[in-house]
């Protein structure tokens, strides 16, 4: 069994945690392998965000739409589309945050 664990604390007693997990799972008949991922490492969050963005079809849809809009409407059309889209996003966030929550 392979376990992937993450930690924000670099000073964490990893060996002790691995021994405790192994002591629990080994009697069940599984071999245990623990892989540690440092979430507190510089750039780890950015790397995870970029990785998920590359795999998202929404990212590629947005990129192709912007490129197509630039060629069809020019820089001025692209600017105003992005400007009013951003303004609408902020207005919708303000309205949604003002609504009472259930």
pTM > 0.95: yes or no: no
Contact 38, 44 (CB under 8 A): yes
- pLDDT classification of 30: cutoffs 50, 70, 90: confident
Rounded CA-CA distance 1/53 in Å is 29
- pLDDT classification of 46: cutoffs 50, 70, 90: confident
pLDDT of amino acid 81: 94
| Domain extent listing, the chain | 2-55
Burial, 49: exposed, middle or buried (Cβ in 10 Å; 0-12, 13-18, 19+)?
Answer: exposed
Look over the chain and give the mean of its residue pLDDT values, rounded to a whole number. 85
Listed in sequence order, the residues at least 6 apart from 44 whose beta carbon sits closer than 8 Å to its beta carbon are 37, 38
Higher per-residue pLDDT: 66 or 15: 66
- pLDDT classification of 22: cutoffs 50, 70, 90: confident
H or E stretch at 59: helix 57-98
pLDDT of amino acid 10: 57
Region of residue 38 (phi > 0: left; psi between -120 and 50: alpha; otherwise: beta): beta
pLDDT (tens digit per residue) in 1-21: 888 887 766 566 777 888 888
């Amino acid at each position: 069994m392979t376990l992937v664990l993450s930690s924000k604390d670099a000073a964490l007693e990893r060996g002790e945690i691995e021994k405790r997990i192994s002591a629990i799972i080994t009697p069940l008949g599984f071999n245990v392998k623990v892989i540690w991922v440092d979430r507190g490492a510089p750039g780890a969050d950015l790397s995870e965000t970029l990785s998920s963005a590359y795999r998202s079809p929404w990212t590629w849809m947005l990129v192709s739409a912007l490129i197509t809009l630039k060629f069809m409407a020019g820089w001025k059309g692209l600017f105003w589309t992005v400007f009013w889209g951003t303004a609408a996003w902020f207005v919708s966030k303000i309205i949604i945050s003002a609504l009472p929550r259930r």
